[in-house]
C-alpha cells in the first residue's frame, strides 16, 4: 500500500485556436478543493542507473516519464481497465531505492486490484509498452519523434519532457534480463 495525496492549486488556460500562444496559469486560491489523501495498492519497477548513464542527465527524466506513461497504457490494456483507473509517478532517484523508479498505483482509495494483478506480469506489461512505442502510427512514420499523445501522452507544450527513444532502450534492457 502507498499513500497518495492530490492537491489542486490551479490550472492552465490553453487557447483553443492559437496553440502558439503561451498557456496562462490560473490559481484557484480559496476556490481550490481540499487535498485528497488515501491509501491504495501499487507496484514499482526499478532500473539500473547504468541503463541511463550513456544519455545526458537532462534526458533521464524525459525517458522515465515516457516509459511510465507507456506502462500506464500497457497496464490498462493488459488489465482491461480505463487508463484513469491507474496513475504513474516517476523518480530519477527514488528516496527509498536510490534508483530510477516507476511507481504505478490504483487511483481508487484502497485499490481495486489492478496493480495487484499487473504486479504478477511485469514482463508482459513491458513488452506491451514497447509495442505501444514501436507501433505508434505517428512515430513509426517519424522515427526521429520524441513521442506523441498516442504513445507517450506528452505534457502540454513541452516536447523536451518526453523521450520515447530512451524509454524504448530502458524497456529493451529490462526485457533482455
> Rounded CA gap, 177 and 157, in Å?
36
Q: In this structure, are residues 116 and 41 in contact, taking their beta carbons and an 8 Å threshold?
A: yes
Give 91-131 pLDDT, tens digit per residue: 988 999 999 899 999 999 999 999 999 999 999 999 999 99
> What is the rounded average pLDDT of the residues 43-66?
84
Task: Please tell me the predicted confidence (pLDDT) of residue 19.
Answer: 64
> DSSP string covering the chain, please?
-EEEEE---EEEE--SS-TTSPPEEEE-GGGSPPPEEEEE-EEEEE--GGGTTTS-HHHHHHHHHHHHHHHHHHHHHHTT--GGGEEEEEESS-TTTSS-EEEEEESSTT--SHHHHHHT-HHHHHHHHHHHHHT-TTTTT-TT----TTTT-PPTT-GGG--HHHHHHHHHHHHT-
Torsion angle defined by CA atoms of residues 104, 106, 109 and 110, in that order, rounded to the nearest 10 degrees: -90
Instruction: Provide the whole-model pTM.
Output: 0.84
Give 125-169 pLDDT, tens digit per residue: 999 999 999 998 888 888 888 887 778 865 555 667 888 888 998
> Rounded CA gap, 167 and 138, in Å?
17
Amino acid at each position: 500500500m502507498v499513500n497518495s495525496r492530490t492537491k489542486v492549486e490551479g490550472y492552465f488556460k490553453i487557447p483553443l485556436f492559437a496553440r502558439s500562444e503561451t498557456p496562462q496559469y490560473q490559481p484557484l486560491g480559496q476556490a481550490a478543493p481540499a487535498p485528497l489523501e488515501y491509501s491504495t495498492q501499487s507496484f514499482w519497477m526499478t532500473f539500473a542507473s547504468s541503463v541511463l548513464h550513456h544519455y545526458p542527465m537532462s534526458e533521464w527524466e524525459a525517458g522515465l516519464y515516457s516509459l511510465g506513461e507507456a506502462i500506464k497504457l500497457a497496464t490498462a490494456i493488459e488489465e482491461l481497465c480505463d487508463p484513469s483507473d491507474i496513475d504513474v509517478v516517476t523518480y530519477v532517484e527514488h528516496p527509498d531505492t536510490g534508483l530510477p523508479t516507476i511507481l504505478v498505483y490504483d487511483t481508487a482509495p484502497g485499490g481495486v486490484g489492478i496493480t495487484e494483478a499487473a504486479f504478477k506480469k511485469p514482463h508482459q506489461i513491458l513488452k506491451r509498452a514497447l509495442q505501444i512505442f514501436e507501433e505508434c502510427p505517428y512515430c513509426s512514420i517519424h522515427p526521429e519523434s520524441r513521442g506523441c499523445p498516442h504513445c507517450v501522452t506528452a505534457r502540454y507544450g513541452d516536447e523536451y519532457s518526453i523521450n520515447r527513444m530512451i524509454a524504448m532502450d530502458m524497456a529493451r534492457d529490462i526485457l533482455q534480463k
